[in-house]
Amino acid sequence: MRLFLILVLSFPSTVFPDERAETRELVGRIGSRSALLVLHGTQRADAGWQLSGEYVLLPTLARRYLQGERGPELGVTTLKEGATPILFGRDPIGELRGVWRDGVFKGTRYGAGGQERERFEFSEEFPSMEDYSAKVRCESLDYDIEEGKVKRFEWRSNGCTLSGLEQSPMKGGLRFVSAGCTVTLREVGDLVKVSAEGCGEQCGGQGVLEPLLVDRRGNCRLLRPEAR
């Protein structure tokens, strides 16, 4: 009886392992257009991945939604593309077919009728910002960065203000932290994406800091879908 109980208690951990989920952000191009790709994945029992997410064409902010899967061995990846977040029951407007391996996702984008549209290539490795220098003063964002070192940084939006953050080492971008709050700057095409994570305490649990895009002239705008 004791042996039976031991087997019953240990069996679920073998057959029903915890699901592994993660989010990956990639930067690259679709045809001649720079783009930002964000994919949320859940690993299946066969080591493949179920994927969903979106890509944003920069700098127009045209947004397309994706759903599909990535194979377990060779990284063969197929993603159906739609104009709305819900793809189930709706005809796709396109499809990305390619291979996602060693941090690079590349292949061909097809139209709704299966015709080849353009090549694409994305990488999980973002450009270094060690030499980045800029003075930005927008309605909500104010910073001075010289050769990858922050001299001044303040972000104000929706009742939330972040300032006095300390710079932390980061490959492929710049990172500023304070008490669990993290602000990240990453180069996406000709723009810089500024985003925050874990900053609820600094924002009183109510304020929200939406991701911003900063252009080479220091102009800022929210990373939101195009108006329809």
CB 166 within 8 A of CB 178: yes
Residues 177, 98: one domain? no
DSSP track, 33-44: EEEEEEEEEEE-
- For 73, the token pair is 């061995």
Residues 118 and 141 in one domain: no
- Does residue 2 lie within any of the structural domains? no
> Are 52 and 118 part of one and the same domain?
yes
Amino acid at 226: E
Instruction: Report pLDDT for 14.
Output: 37
113 and 141 inside one domain: no
Among candidate residues 185, 213, 222, the one with its CA nearest the CA of residue 34: 213
pTM value?
0.84
195: its two tokens: 């985003």
Residue where one domain finishes, among candidates 123, 148, 169: 123
Instruction: Write the pLDDT tens digit of every residue in 58-70.
Output: 979 999 999 999 9
φ, ψ of residue 50 to 5 degrees: the values are -90, 130
Q: Same domain for 139 and 116?
A: no
Same domain, 30 and 105: yes
Instruction: Write the single-letter amino acid at 207.
Output: G
Tell whether 153 is covered by a domain: yes
Q: Is 66 exposed, middle or buried (0-12, 13-18, 19+ CB in 10 A)?
A: buried
Tell me what pLDDT residue 207 has.
Answer: 62
Report residues of the chain scoring pLDDT below 50.
1-16, 227-228
Number of domains the chain contains: 2
**What pLDDT shows up at residue 104?**
98
Residues 137, 41: contact at Cβ < 8 Å?
no
Model confidence over 84-93: pLDDT tens digits? 887 777 889 9
Structural domain range at position 182: 134-222
Looking at the domain assignment, is residue 40 inside a domain? yes
pLDDT of residue 18: 60
